[in-house]
């Protein structure tokens, strides 16, 4: 078969080179040729070939190493982006701690949750999700002797009382959380350097929470506490104590 001429884009478009490949060349071998013929040094990073969609350069697919190029029905002149696959992702937990984890950008959010939860120490990864972080109050600026719980209780008491009656009429409450799409990659979702918030997305049953698991118990407590104090889960004052 005739050689396939492809434009290899590096450094987010700063460099473009045209290379010829046999259509039966595997993606892994094509990456090796790019590294040999275009790159001048080895920076130690793990790279991959990314085929963008016609509508949005952030969207597309990462080519799988064991596939042949003809599997993706590439044509002469098509562009492939040669991109680092690994990136540092900052994940904030509800207890305020921030973990910096190295993740594979070729994986979907759903796949990443397996790795992220395993490193943090959470076993039931399918119950957790990622969402964009919200600005939290700066506790260093609070008056002496005033904790976050006290501040929220005072500042939101009137608003919470008004919400309770309205929320109690609903069959279920809505946290208004915009979860990251499970089937998309971080690149497709435009996730930048800002931390992402990890929190429980699904509640199957309290039986799934092991009383001997301090990580999950703490995260569950913080999430439930905040939901009550912010009026998203209506409870009586006695129940909230």
From-to residues of CATH 3.10.20.90 in the chain: 4-84, 87-240
Helices 214-229 and 148-167 cross at an angle (nearest 10°) of: 60
pLDDT at res. 191 = 85
Give the pLDDT confidence score for residue 96 in this predicted structure: 84
- Taking the chain (241 residues) in consecutive chunks of 10 residues, what is each chunk's mean pLDDT? 88 87 95 86 83 81 93 94 93 89 93 93 86 60 47 51 44 59 88 88 60 62 63 59 58
Helix, strand or coil, per DSSP, at residue 79: strand
Ordered alpha helix ranges (H), the chain: 27-37, 109-120, 148-167, 186-189, 214-229, 237-240
Could you give the 3-state DSSP secondary structure of residue 131? strand
pLDDT at 154: 46
Class of the 4-84 domain?
alpha beta
What class is the 87-240 domain? alpha beta
Position 193 scores a pLDDT of: 86
Token pair of 99 as six digits: 């973990």
Q: What is the pLDDT of residue 167?
A: 39
pLDDT at 234: 62
Query: Measured between alpha carbons, how far is residue 220 from residues 56, 65, 113, 208, 214 in Å?
Result: 38, 39, 17, 12, 10
Q: What is the pLDDT of residue 32?
A: 93
| Closest C-alpha among 48, 81, 52 to residue 67 | 48
């Amino acid at each position: 078969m005739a050689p396939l001429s492809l434009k290899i884009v590096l450094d987010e478009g700063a460099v473009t080179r045209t290379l010829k490949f046999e259509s039966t060349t595997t993606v892994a071998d094509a990456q090796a040729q790019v590294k040999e013929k275009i790159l001048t040094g080895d920076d130690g990073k793990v790279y991959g070939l990314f085929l963008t969609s016609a509508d949005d350069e952030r969207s597309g697919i990462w080519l799988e190493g064991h596939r042949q190029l003809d599997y993706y029905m590439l044509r002469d002149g098509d562009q492939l982006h040669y991109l680092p696959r690994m990136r540092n992702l900052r994940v904030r937990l509800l207890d305020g701690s921030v973990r910096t984890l190295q993740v594979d950008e070729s994986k979907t959010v759903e796949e990443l949750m397996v790795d992220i939860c395993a490193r943090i120490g959470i076993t039931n990864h399918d119950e957790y999700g990622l969402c964009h972080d919200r600005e939290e109050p700066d506790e260093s600026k609070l008056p002496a002797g005033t904790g976050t719980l006290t501040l929220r209780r005072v500042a939101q008491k009137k608003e919470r009382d008004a919400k309770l009656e309205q929320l109690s009429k609903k069959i279920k409450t809505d946290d208004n959380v915009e979860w990251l799409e499970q089937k998309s990659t971080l690149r497709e979702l435009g996730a930048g350097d800002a931390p992402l918030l990890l929190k429980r997305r699904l509640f199957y049953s309290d039986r799934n929470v092991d009383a001997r698991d301090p990580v999950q118990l703490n995260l569950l407590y913080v999430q439930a506490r905040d939901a009550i104090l912010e009026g998203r889960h209506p409870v009586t004052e006695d129940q909230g104590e």
